[in-house]
Structure formats: structure tokens, C-alpha cells
């Protein structure tokens, strides 16, 4: 998509995972495309426990547990979630008790 006239527009940027980062004003010059990692489509409103994510065509929601603890299903060790989505393979978001064993 290229501009047919120069105009100011509001773009919505997203990071490498597609997570909405911020809106910004953009001067869209004749014959140019949009700024990288941005879209004219307005992201959905904030939703507790989820992040708005752009898949290249539309916005949707993905679970967001960034900053929460996840626990190893092998040894119960914990680490912080750093990416959107559920727990990494081999981890769970459910905190195990002292005598709990993981059975899938």
C-alpha cells in the first residue's frame, strides 16, 4: 500500500512479537509505504491478562504473563516469564506445593 497524496496519519506500532507498543503521528508521503512494524488498524482495547498482537493482517489477543513466575515440571525451580503467551515447554504457571509431582 502506497500513499497517493501526502497526509498525516496515526499509525500503531508493534514489536518483533507483534505486541502493540504505541500510536504515533506519521507524515505519509506520496509514493511511500507505511513505517516498518506499524499499521493503520486501531488495536483492540486493553484486556486484563492479555496483550494486543498484530499478526500482519489483524489485531487479536494473546495471553500475557510477563513478569509472573513459571515453574519447572521437572524440579519445581522457578523463573520469570519474559515473552507473551503461556508458560514455556517444560514449565507451568501453577505454583507447585512441597509434595506435588508433575503428571502432565
In 3D space, the residue among 8, 35, 7 whose CA is nearest the CA of residue 21 turns out to be 35
What pLDDT digit, counting tens, does each position of 57-97 carry?
A: 999 999 999 999 999 999 999 999 999 998 999 999 999 98
What is the value of pTM for the model shown? Answer: 0.80
Q: How many residues does the chain have?
A: 104
Residue 59's H or E segment, with its range, is strand 59-63
How far apart, in Å, are the Cα atoms of 72 and each of 39, 99, 104? 38, 14, 12
State the CB neighbour count (10 A cutoff) for residue 65. Answer: 19
SS3 letters across 31-53: CCCCCCCEECCCCCCCECCEEEE
CA dihedral 59, 62, 65, 70 (to 10 degrees): -150
C-alpha cell at 26: 506519521
Q: What is the mean pLDDT of residues 25-51?
A: 96
Higher-confidence residue of 11 and 104: namely 11
Amino acid at each position: 500500500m502506497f500513499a497517493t497524496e501526502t497526509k498525516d496519519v496515526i499509525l500503531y506500532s508493534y514489536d518483533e512479537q507483534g505486541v502493540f507498543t504505541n500510536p504515533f503521528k506519521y507524515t505519509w508521503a506520496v509514493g511511500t509505504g507505511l513505517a516498518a512494524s506499524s499499521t493503520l488498524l486501531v488495536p483492540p482495547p486493553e484486556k486484563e491478562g492479555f496483550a494486543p498482537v498484530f499478526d500482519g493482517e489483524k489485531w487479536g489477543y494473546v495471553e500475557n504473563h510477563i513478569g509472573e513466575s513459571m515453574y519447572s515440571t521437572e524440579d519445581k525451580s522457578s523463573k520469570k516469564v519474559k515473552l507473551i503467551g503461556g508458560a514455556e515447554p517444560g514449565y507451568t504457571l501453577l505454583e507447585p506445593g512441597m509434595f506435588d509431582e508433575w503428571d502432565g
